A = this chain, B = another copy of it.
Amino acid sequence: MKLFYTPEIAQDKTFTLSESESKHAIRVLRLKEKDTITLINGKGSFFDATISDANPKKCTVQITTIRTENKAKPYLHIAIAPTKNNDRTEWMIEKCTEIGINEITPTLCKHSERKKIKQERFEKTAISAMKQSLKASLPIVNELTNFNTVVNAAFKGKKYIAHCYKNKQQHFKDIYLKGENCMILIGPEGDFSEQEVELALKNGFVPITFGESRLRTETAGIFACTTFNLLNE
């Protein structure tokens, strides 16, 4: 099943693909009239469609069925320090999109070595991972945001901060309740500063650990996402 990401699609009976998607469908995949394709809107809906005009610049399709993604899962938002090496963050975004996540906020922390990100590239990574894993929901990938803004923002759900200071924090798997929306803060290689941890606790974040292994930032991101999805399976 080849998916086309068409965020602007409405509930109409016909739809015309963008020039680049039309070219991809007709010139690259050599699709023809009456061939079937599936469009996704990034918001959880699949639109099965039949090509009615195989125009390589504006391919038009007739929508035959609209399907929505299975069961509603609780919301997962991971706010995470971008890694020094961009590839590691991109790779984490790809993996989390495959496994299941709703929102990612690259977070600028006191010990962050990287102070700039390419949000557009991160978004492209998420789009291609969504298509590749046959999902119809695109995670929100936010712009780089200051730690203070992140911890002060409203969030409807439980909030956690994963840090490495020895405070006997509980394992995420033992404290998270199935079905809860959840936001998880993950720090840079040098960990959050003590002031950052304090500020998070004041704002209702609960300290957690992911076990005894010392994980890299991006590994902690995937570990958190996997655990959340397992507990909600």
User: Could you say which of B91, B99, B219 contacts A215, with CB atoms under 8 Å apart?
Assistant: B99
Q: Check B219–A98 contact: CB distance below 8 A.
A: yes
A221 CB to closest chain B CB (Å) equals 11
Measured in the bound complex, the distance between the Cα atoms of B226 and A171 in whole Å is: 14
User: With A215-B99, A223-B226 in contact, do A233 and B132 touch (Cβ < 8 Å)?
Assistant: no
- Tell me the nearest residue of chain B to A211, going by C-beta: B233
**Complex contact B171–A99 (CB within 8 A):** no
Could you tell me if A213 and B171 are in contact, using CB atoms closer than 8 angstroms? no
Q: Contact: B214 with A134, CB < 8 Å?
A: yes
A213/B133 in contact, CB under 8 A: yes
| Residues from 60 to 85 in A contacting B, C-beta threshold 8 Å | 70
Q: Which residues of A contact B (CB under 8 A)?
A: 70, 91, 95, 98-100, 132-135, 171, 173, 211-216, 219, 222-223, 226-227, 229-230, 233
